[in-house]
Structure 1
Amino acid sequence: MRAPFPVGVVPCQGAPVPWVRARLRGQLIYARASETGALQAENGRVEIRYKPNDGRRYEAREGNLEVVPGPPLPDDTCGPADAVRKPEKGAASGEAAVSGASAVGASPAAGTRSRAASGRAAAGPAPIPEGAIVAYADGACSGNPGPAGLGVTMKDGARTIELSEYLGVGTNNIAELTAILRVLQEIQDATRGVVIFTDSQYSIGVLQKGWKAKANVELVAELRNALKARKNTQIRYVPGHAGHAGNERADALAREAVRARKSRRTEQPPTA
């Protein structure tokens, strides 16, 4: 899911201090703040987030941030995130290149993880199983809680299915989880190979890494049961804001649902 959003985006996690909504060169983001709502800067830079569950945090110059009026948001309303390794000089990277933000300098441990990730990237992503349905699922939420929606785009051979569903008032995590559930509900044949891409580390955590669900317990249980009934379903992480066409499309469908307060399903080519 990607900012900007018509009204707001959900908050994010880091040190135990609040967040405020702010604009960075016109883009709505979340910024670290004190309990009074003032920006919390170190050496003139403020920690910011573009998305609650994409596992990435950045820094922006305090002077480039415009705080949006409103009370500070609690820190514990979103999942964990790791620092992003600062790109090499001259290398443009994601939102940092677009919005003037920079990646947070990684610690030695984070640098080790980054080098390991680079090694995996060099080997290339895992191949898609032959004949598998490929789906991208994303959620959007304007506030937390607030108007929520999901987006799904699925490719099954020559057939493409897209969902843009308004969920009413909910949270970002509910929208992310429900998007994955909708993919499973669309595929009646439980023996089919399915690869679902999500940019929600929260969803990956509670569904595949054994994280304990402190909220959304029934929804998580429903998803876990649905996944157990399928032997050939994979959920894979895809970074948000990284130009992945399927993820960008699912994000757009989710934001469309929130903006229009409507749901739609399309299938191409149409079923006879």
Structure 2
Amino acid sequence: MIEVYIDGASAGDPGPSGAGVFIKGNGNLIRHAFPLSEMSNHQAEFHACIRGLDICRDHQFSIISIRSDSKVVVDAIEKEYVKNPTFRPLLLTILTNINNHFEHVFIKWIPKKSNKEADLLAKRAIQLSLDKLSD
């Protein structure tokens, strides 16, 4: 099974943001740091999940386990519902991607200390966002 570790981060709330995705399994080690626009930390967490699913779809992984330290994202995906209207289109994108491209997708909340690789990638992505702003 493919393990997909995701994390979003924001330098401010809202602020320049980034998404980190670390994927391992079946001999794969994939790392991506995605600079994002200005947004909240929670929005960045949803974007990290979307980016992780996109990578898995592109690699044609069919059974994946998403690991996140964001209770908001994990709960939203498990319940297929989110109260905050800002997150609804992001959740819809995630659920549509899951339903259309994967055989099985599991989601699991993990403590922050177990998500260090994705966290470092998200922070690197913020720095890339900040570097673009200063250019």
TM-score by length of 2: 0.85
User: Which residue is 2:105 aligned to?
Assistant: 233
Alignment of 1:40-189 (within 5 A): 132-188=1-57, 189=60
User: Which residue is 1:212 aligned to?
Assistant: 83
* Aligned residue identity for 2:68: T
Distance 2:97 2:83 in 1: 17
* Aligned residue identity for 1:143: G
SS in 2 for 1:211: coil
Distance 1:213 1:231 in 2: 28
SS in 1 for 2:86: coil
Question: Are the aligned partners of 1:144 and 1:170 in contact in 2 as well (CA < 8 Å)?
Answer: yes
Q: Which runs of 4+ in 1 moved over 6 A?
A: none
Alignment of 1:8-19 (within 5 A): none
Deviation at 1:212, TM superposition (A): 2.8
Structure 2 runs not aligned, ≥5 long: none
Distance 2:110 2:55 in 1: 21
Question: Are the aligned partners of 1:206 and 1:213 in contact in 2 as well (CA < 8 Å)?
Answer: no
Which of the two has higher C-alpha Rg? Answer: 1
1:123-145 superposed Cα distances (whole Å, 9 cap, x missing partner): xxxxxxxxx11110000001111
User: Taking structure 1 as reference, are residues 227 and 213 closer, same or farther at Cα in structure 2, changes over 3 Å only?
Assistant: farther
SS in 2 for 1:187: helix
User: Which residue is 1:258 aligned to?
Assistant: 126
Q: Which has more helix, going by share of residues?
A: 2
Size of the aligned set, in residue pairs, is 127
Deviation at 1:207, TM superposition (A): 1.4
TM-score by length of 1: 0.44
Q: Which has the higher contact order (CA 8 A, sep 6+)?
A: 2
1:29-53 superposed Cα distances (whole Å, 9 cap, x missing partner): xxxxxxxxxxxxxxxxxxxxxxxxx
1:12-43 superposed Cα distances (whole Å, 9 cap, x missing partner): xxxxxxxxxxxxxxxxxxxxxxxxxxxxxxxx
Distance 1:252 1:183 in 2: 15
Structure 1 runs not aligned, ≥5 long: 1-131, 264-272
1:191-233 superposed Cα distances (whole Å, 9 cap, x missing partner): x110010000010122112333421222111111112223311
Deviation at 1:163, TM superposition (A): 0.6
Aligned-pair Cα RMSD in Å: 1.8
1:213-268 superposed Cα distances (whole Å, 9 cap, x missing partner): 4212221111111122233111110011x3x2xx10100110111123269xxxxx
